[in-house]
Amino acid sequence: MKNIVILISGGGSNMAAIVKAAQQQDWAHRYGARVAAVVSNKADAKGLVFAREHGIATEVLDHKKFDSREAFDAKLAQVIDQHNPAVVVLAGFMRILTPGFVQHFEGRLVNIHPSLLPAFTGLHTHQRAIDAGCKFAGCTVHGVTAKLDVGPILDQAVVPVLPEDTADTLAARVLTQEHVIYPRAVAALLQKA
């Protein structure tokens, strides 16, 4: 079985979209794959409740209990490795990962970013797109490298930026597309794994 481990820090809506796609599209039969675990750096992450309700193993690893980013990432890698992952999915995991962690999971680590990369890496992407006068925005699933938001592009979706858009309204429209392309990109990776 190809195991998927998903990392979250909050509500986990992208994680939920992947779990639902895995069930609805029968990834166990089609790809020999399953969502094996959801790991969060926050004990109160609402996505953990969804994962537990769907029979998925959950783990919490509080980054504040570690002396350094490297120490946290080393322990996080151990926790993930217990599930023998074919794919590690960052789904709203609000931590910048160390180069050692990224290298450990090289070729198996994916992220979603709320912009049309390479535009608007980092934070506040929706407001930055509006401020720049962009007519289109969107989201990108990409392979993770040691450099933030620059890995190979695996899938993208485009949404129009409307004249009346605020960062929040644009973010909500982009999020609906994230829920479409992230499961699709993970399924494509599973076909190759």
Cβ-contact 147, 121 below 8 angstroms:
no
pLDDT in tens, 96-125: 999 999 999 999 999 999 999 999 999 999
Reduce the DSSP state of residue 84 to 3 states and report it: coil
CA angle in degrees (0–180, nearest 5) for 70-75-76: 95
Task: Give the pLDDT confidence score for residue 148 in this predicted structure.
Answer: 87
Q: Which of 104, 113, 126, 142 is catalytic?
A: 113
Share of the chain above pLDDT 90, in %: 96
d(CA 183, CA 181): 6
DSSP structure class, residue 11: -
pLDDT in tens, 73-94: 999 999 999 999 999 999 999 9
Pairing of strands 33-40, 136-143: unpaired
Question: Annotated catalytic, 113?
Answer: yes
Closest CA to 140 of 74, 107, 185: 185
- Residue spans of the domains in the chain: they are 2-192
d(CA 63, CA 47): 17
Task: Give the pLDDT confidence score for residue 137 in this predicted structure.
Answer: 98
Closest CA to 17 of 29, 28, 6: 6
Cβ-contact 110, 154 below 8 angstroms:
yes
Residue 193 has pLDDT above 90, yes or no: no
Q: What is the mean pLDDT of residues 147-152?
A: 92
Q: Assign domain 2-192 one CATH number from 3.40.50.150, 3.40.50.2000, 3.40.50.300, 3.40.50.170.
A: 3.40.50.170
d(CA 114, CA 46): 20
pLDDT in tens, 4-31: 999 999 999 999 999 999 999 999 999 9
- Global pTM? 0.96
> In this structure, how many other beta carbons lie within 10 angstroms of the beta carbon of residue 69?
15
Residue 62 has pLDDT above 90, yes or no: yes
Task: Give the pLDDT confidence score for residue 99 in this predicted structure.
Answer: 96
